[in-house]
Amino acid sequence: MDAQKVDMFIMTNGKYFESHHLVQIRDRLLQLDDSKWSVLQTLQFKDPTTSLIISILGGTLGIDRFMIGDTGLGVGKLLTCGGLGIWAIIDYFLIMGATREKNFAKIQQALV
């Protein structure tokens, strides 16, 4: 794939991934042929900032975990009221990283 196209993708979507994953994503994208580009353009990534806002507003109900696809953890938070609030507070610090990891897993799966 064209290096300029890959760099543009990294610039526009870099916030959705951990910084240490960007080099790995770039290298993988450079190895792709152009037929996969349309698949890559259709991917929808979750915004880590939105996840944090939802975690602050509805974290005790597990809405943040449901949103990123962690259904089991969402049910656990819902049944325990966010671990009596403790788990919800801890997730304020973890949810952005968890969202970026889910996005990374999504792009890896799409590029296989």
Q: What is the pLDDT of residue 39?
A: 84
Burial 1-26 (b: 16+ CB within 10 A, else e): beeeebeebeeebeebbbeebeeebb
Task: State the pLDDT confidence band at 20, using cuts at 50, 70 and 90.
Answer: very high
**Other C-beta atoms within 10 Å of 39: how many?**
11
Summarize pLDDT for 46-102 with one digit per residue, the tens.
999 999 999 999 989 999 999 999 999 999 999 999 889 899 999 999 999 999 999
Summarize pLDDT for 70-85 with one digit per residue, the tens.
999 999 999 999 889 8
